[in-house]
């Protein structure tokens, strides 16, 4: 690769172990304390001047974080003490592409050793090309971050509408009922484990909270022998510990025993009302998290019997009409995020290996 110099990772960056700090030693401040799983808290003091890059050393091995400003790297991390003239943002992406988590040298406790990591083979372009590569990947990450922040704002707007029209303003036409009076729902049932695969054979299958994302579950496991289904845009609720996590079905999918799927009884197309009504009931649903002897769970009969206030049809229709536009924007944004993440994740190893070059 023209312009890419083969070397060791220790010649590209020098890593150093983070600094220990207990919760009791911390005082509230503006500087992030970065552990192997990300920013865990904020402290009044900092140890490293930004921009900086941190790698998970214990716990979440090989996780990589970029810090624009001053920060405190926790003892569970390694941080880049010296970039040797390389571009920090490029180094962040370069380290992400190496999948450092596979270099575990721990015995009982997984550990990433900096001396071992320093010996790994590496090859990087000139700082000028590094700047351009980092700019390409950063532009994708910035767009993804913008869409995530926009989605949180949109969801807050829809929740505000729901509270104003249906929680606080149900009016005299509201009546008391149960969840089963207003919603149809399907309790999941797990298919045979022999049917599970990660090759996209059959339909996506979701077992519970571990699969859930911001709005839609991540498709990791598929089954060729589905048993119970959720329809597109059904509201999904985790029914086994932890009870009460919420998502929405992107496509027709199989739901395992840890998930239930809901739709509005009077009009199955009212997916926006269903989602935000179930969201408003989460505190009641989550009470079942402690009901089980070992693991919390909520049953079909529990759902049927759950007491709710049923708003007048006209108010529900009005909310669905108004909030659907907001909700559909969230759904569209989620689709864009998936597309951009796929593009970024596909570009990352190709840019970092020099297989794809950028003009500069």
10-residue block means of pLDDT along the chain (360 residues)?
A: 83 97 89 95 95 95 96 97 98 95 75 92 94 96 97 97 81 87 96 93 93 94 96 96 92 96 97 97 88 72 94 93 97 97 95 86
pLDDT tens by residue, 64-112: 999 999 999 999 999 999 999 999 999 999 999 998 988 877 666 788 9
**Residue 3, burial from CB neighbour count under 10 angstroms (0-12, 13-18, 19+):** exposed
Structure tokens at 113: 């050793």
Task: Please indicate, yes or no, if residue 130 is contained in any of the structural domains.
Answer: no
Helices (H) and strands (E) in the chain, counts: 9, 20
Print the domain residue range for 282: 175-310
Task: Please indicate, yes or no, if residue 342 is contained in any of the structural domains.
Answer: no
Task: Please indicate, yes or no, if residue 196 is contained in any of the structural domains.
Answer: yes
Task: Please indicate, yes or no, if residue 86 is contained in any of the structural domains.
Answer: yes
Please give the pLDDT value at position 104: 77
How many structural domains are present in the chain?
Answer: 2
Q: Which of 232, 243, 229 has the alpha carbon at shortest distance from 299?
A: 243
Please give the pLDDT value at position 293: 45
Residues 111 and 179 in one domain: no
Residues 10 and 110 in one domain: yes
Task: Please indicate, yes or no, if residue 281 is contained in any of the structural domains.
Answer: yes
Task: Please indicate, yes or no, if residue 132 is contained in any of the structural domains.
Answer: no
CA distance 291 to 287: 7
- SS3 at position 241: coil
- Residue 189 CB coordination number (10 Å): 13
Domain boundary among 62, 97, 124: 124
Alpha helices in the chain (DSSP H): 9-12, 88-97, 114-118, 127-162, 179-182, 271-280, 282-286, 300-305, 313-353
DSSP-assigned letter for residue 163 = I
Task: Please indicate, yes or no, if residue 250 is contained in any of the structural domains.
Answer: yes
Residues 207 and 281 in one domain: yes
Residues 120 and 235 in one domain: no
Residues 117 and 193 in one domain: no
Domain boundary among 57, 90, 124: 124
Structure tokens at 50: 């930004």
Task: Please indicate, yes or no, if residue 150 is contained in any of the structural domains.
Answer: no
Residues 103 and 223 in one domain: no
Domain boundary among 295, 310, 325: 310
Report whether 192 contacts 224 (CB < 8 A): no
Residues 179 and 102 in one domain: no
Structure tokens at 157: 């707007």
Q: What is the pTM of this model?
A: 0.86
Structure tokens at 45: 């003091």
pLDDT tens by residue, 181-228: 999 999 999 999 899 999 999 999 999 889 999 999 999 999 999 999
- SS3 at position 287: helix
Residues 184 and 292 in one domain: yes
Residues 17 and 111 in one domain: yes
Cα end-to-end span (Å), the chain: 16
Residues 86 and 190 in one domain: no
Q: Which of 15, 76, 19 has the alpha carbon at shortest distance from 45?
A: 19
Residues 108 and 197 in one domain: no
CA distance 172 to 170: 7
CA distance 350 to 346: 7
Residues 106 and 181 in one domain: no
Longest dimension (CA), the chain: 76
CATH of the domain at 34: 3.90.220.20
């Amino acid at each position: 690769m023209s312009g890419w110099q083969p070397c060791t990772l220790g010649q590209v960056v020098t890593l150093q172990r983070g600094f220990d700090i207990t919760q009791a030693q911390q005082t509230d401040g503006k500087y992030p304390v970065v552990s192997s799983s990300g920013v865990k808290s904020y402290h009044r003091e900092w140890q490293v001047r930004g921009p900086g890059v941190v790698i998970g050393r214990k716990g979440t091995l090989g996780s990589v974080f970029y810090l624009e400003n001053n920060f405190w790297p926790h003892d569970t991390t390694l941080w880049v003490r010296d970039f040797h003239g390389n571009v920090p943002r490029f180094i962040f992406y370069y380290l992400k592409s190496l999948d450092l988590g596979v270099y575990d040298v721990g015995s009982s406790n997984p550990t990433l050793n900096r001396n071992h990591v320093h010996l790994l083979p590496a090859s990087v372009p000139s700082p000028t090309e590094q700047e351009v590569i980092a700019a390409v990947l950063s532009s994708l990450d910035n767009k993804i971050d913008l869409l995530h922040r926009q989605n949180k704002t949109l969801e807050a707007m829809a929740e505000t509408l729901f509270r104003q029209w249906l929680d606080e303003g149900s009016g005299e036409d509201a009546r008391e009922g149960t969840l089963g009076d207003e919603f149809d729902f399907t309790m999941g049932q797990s298919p045979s484990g022999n049917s599970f695969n990660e090759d996209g054979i059959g339909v996506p299958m979701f077992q519970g909270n571990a699969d859930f994302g911001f709005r839609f579950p991540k498709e990791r496991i598929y089954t060729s022998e589905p048993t119970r289904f959720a329809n597109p845009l059904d509201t999904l609720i985790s029914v086994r510990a932890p009870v009460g996590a919420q998502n929405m079905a992107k496509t027709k999918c199989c739901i395992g025993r840890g998930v239930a799927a809901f739709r509005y009884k009077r009009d199955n197309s009212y997916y926006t009302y269903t989602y935000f009504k179930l969201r408003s009931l989460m505190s009641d649903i989550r009470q079942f998290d402690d009901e089980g002897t070992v693991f919390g769970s909520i049953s079909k009969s529990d759902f049927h019997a759950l007491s709710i206030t049923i708003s007048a049809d006209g108010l529900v229709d009005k909310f669905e009409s108004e909030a659907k536009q907001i909700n559909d924007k969230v759904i569209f944004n989620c689709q864009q995020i998936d597309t951009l993440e796929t593009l970024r994740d596909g570009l990352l190893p190709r840019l970092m290996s020099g297989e794809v070059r950028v003009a500069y």
